[in-house]
């Protein structure tokens, strides 16, 4: 498939794993097609983004395409470790599969001007910061340092840990992703008015027609209160200017993250079931086994 063919998935993306430039830039995995769905290969591992390129809710036709793609992925001869991301548990998933259910939360665009406590927090923050929007050209060592320090703080709190070592490693590739994505990916940087120093950032992807993606957010401990909300507002306003109808804010994960999303009137929008399982190597057909025995001299 050509880059234009892969771009079809990005234009209709509902989840980040359908953004080809994003997954390539962040992981280095290679795309493949399984039926009507997009998969990602690394050695004998396959991650299948089994979501139709249509608007939810999904009917029988869309469910059938997801089932077909999952079954096809599970049957590929080289696959030994399979992860299926789908709106429901596929029938081909064995009872031993490790499955986790969550939902992508989204906010409809355009958003109304924030009022009440949220509006007051944003206005307070904007008295102390300015927000710059840029692509890879504005990503500097200052951004890398902010991401690194924020990751270390999360990794140092095992009792409240919400970050894996693998995620922390992926964060080091955000700059690479921005360079690979071009104008679709935007970084929103919050800088202190007092000295111009960077105190927070958010990264979004605007490649899809209908859905913007709020991918990453980091801040320093002394960032002015309301900075994270001010960054999200700038992101949502840019998405609306581009004609996008919603912003995917990511999974619920835990109460703190869900509280942040609810402040913005976000709702669980897209069910996401992650099923992972190992696939045993197929046994050799009897004829092949006898041929190999003959070649080894076993009589």
Q: What is the helix (H) or strand (E) element at residue 239, kind and residue range?
A: helix 227-241
Structural domain contains residue 195: yes
Kindly indicate the confidence band of residue 26, based on its pLDDT and cuts at 50, 70 and 90.
Answer: very high
Is the domain of 63 the same as that of 143? no
Residues forming a β-bridge with 107: 247
Structural domain contains residue 258: no
Q: State mean pLDDT over 15-33.
A: 94
Q: State mean pLDDT over 53-70.
A: 94
Is the domain of 132 the same as that of 179? yes
Cβ-based burial of 187 (10 A; exposed 0-12, middle 13-18, buried ≥19): buried
Angle of helix 174-181 relative to helix 141-155, nearest 10 degrees, comes to 130
Is the domain of 128 the same as that of 62? no
Q: Which of 33-47, 125-139, 159-173, 255-269 has the lowest mean pLDDT?
A: 159-173
Cα of 296 vs its chain's centroid, Å: 49
Is the domain of 125 the same as that of 235? yes
> Given a cut of 50, is residue 282 above it in pLDDT?
yes
> Given a cut of 60, is residue 155 above it in pLDDT?
yes
Is the domain of 54 the same as that of 145? no
> Given a cut of 70, is residue 281 above it in pLDDT?
no
Pick 239 or 291 by higher pLDDT.
239
Other CB atoms within 10 Å distance of the CB of residue 26: 20
Structural domain contains residue 251: no
Q: In what order do the strands lie in the sheet with 30-34?
A: 30-34, 37-42, 45-49, 81-86, 267-278, 98-108, 246-251, 211-219, 198-205, 185-192, 129-134
**Which pLDDT score, from 0 to 100, does residue 28 have?**
87
Is the domain of 126 the same as that of 222? yes
Is the domain of 122 the same as that of 99? no
Is the domain of 151 the same as that of 184? yes
- Inter-residue contact 269 to 105 (CB < 8 Å): yes
**Which pLDDT score, from 0 to 100, does residue 294 have?**
38
Q: Could you list the residue range(s) of the whole structural domain that residue 42 is in?
A: 3-103+273-296
Is the domain of 124 the same as that of 238? yes
> Given a cut of 70, is residue 70 above it in pLDDT?
yes
> Given a cut of 80, is residue 156 above it in pLDDT?
no
**Which pLDDT score, from 0 to 100, does residue 84 have?**
97
Separation between Cα atoms, residue 104 and residue 97, nearest integer Å: 21
Is the domain of 197 the same as that of 222? yes
Q: Which of 244, 263, 285 is the last residue of a domain?
A: 244
User: For the chain, what is the mean pLDDT?
Assistant: 90
Pick 264 or 153 by higher pLDDT.
264
- Inter-residue contact 247 to 104 (CB < 8 Å): no
Averaging pLDDT over each range in 153-167, 206-220, 268-282, 284-298, which range is the top one?
Answer: 206-220
Kindly indicate the confidence band of residue 293, based on its pLDDT and cuts at 50, 70 and 90.
Answer: very low
Q: State mean pLDDT over 272-296.
A: 62
**Which pLDDT score, from 0 to 100, does residue 162 have?**
55
Pick 143 or 160 by higher pLDDT.
143
Is the domain of 238 the same as that of 116? yes
Helix, strand or coil for residue 54?
coil
Q: Report the candidate in 229, 244, 249 with the shortest Cα–Cα distance to residue 114.
A: 229
**Which pLDDT score, from 0 to 100, does residue 283 have?**
47
The size of the chain, in residues, is 299
Q: Which two tokens mark 108?
A: 């409809």
CATH assignment at residue 163: 3.40.630.30
Is the domain of 99 the same as that of 139? no
Structural domain contains residue 54: yes
Number of domains in the chain: 2
């Amino acid at each position: 498939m050509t880059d234009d063919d892969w771009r079809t998935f990005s234009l209709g993306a509902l989840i980040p794993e359908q953004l080809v430039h994003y997954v390539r830039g962040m992981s280095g995995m290679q795309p493949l097609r399984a039926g009507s769905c997009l998969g990602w290969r690394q050695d004998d591992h396959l991650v299948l983004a089994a979501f139709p390129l249509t608007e939810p809710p999904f009917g029988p036709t869309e469910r059938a395409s997801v089932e077909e793609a999952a079954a096809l992925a599970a049957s590929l001869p080289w696959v030994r470790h399979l992860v299926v991301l789908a709106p429901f548990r596929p029938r081909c998933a064995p009872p031993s599969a490790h499955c986790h259910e969550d939902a992508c939360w989204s906010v409809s665009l355009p958003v109304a001007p924030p009022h009440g406590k949220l509006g007051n927090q944003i206005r307070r923050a904007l008295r102390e910061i300015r927000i710059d929007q840029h692509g890879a050209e504005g990503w500097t060592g200052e951004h890398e340092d902010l991401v690194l320090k924020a990751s270390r703080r999360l990794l140092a709190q095992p009792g409240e840990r919400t970050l894996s070592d693998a995620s922390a490693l992926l964060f080091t590739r955000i700059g690479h992703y921005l360079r690979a994505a071009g104008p679709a990916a935007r970084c929103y940087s919050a800088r202190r008015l007092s000295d111009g120093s960077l105190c927070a950032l958010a990264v979004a992807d605007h490649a899809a027609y209908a859905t913007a993606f709020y991918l990453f957010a980091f801040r320093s401990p002394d960032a002015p209160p309301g900075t994270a909300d001010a960054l999200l507002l700038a992101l949502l306003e840019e998405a609306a200017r581009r004609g996008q109808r919603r912003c995917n804010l990511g999974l619920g994960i835990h109460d703190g993250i869900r509280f942040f999303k609810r402040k913005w009137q976000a709702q669980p929008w897209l069910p996401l079931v992650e099923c992972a399982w190992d696939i045993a190597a197929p046994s050799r057909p009897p004829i092949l086994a006898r041929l190999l025995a003959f070649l080894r001299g076993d009589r």
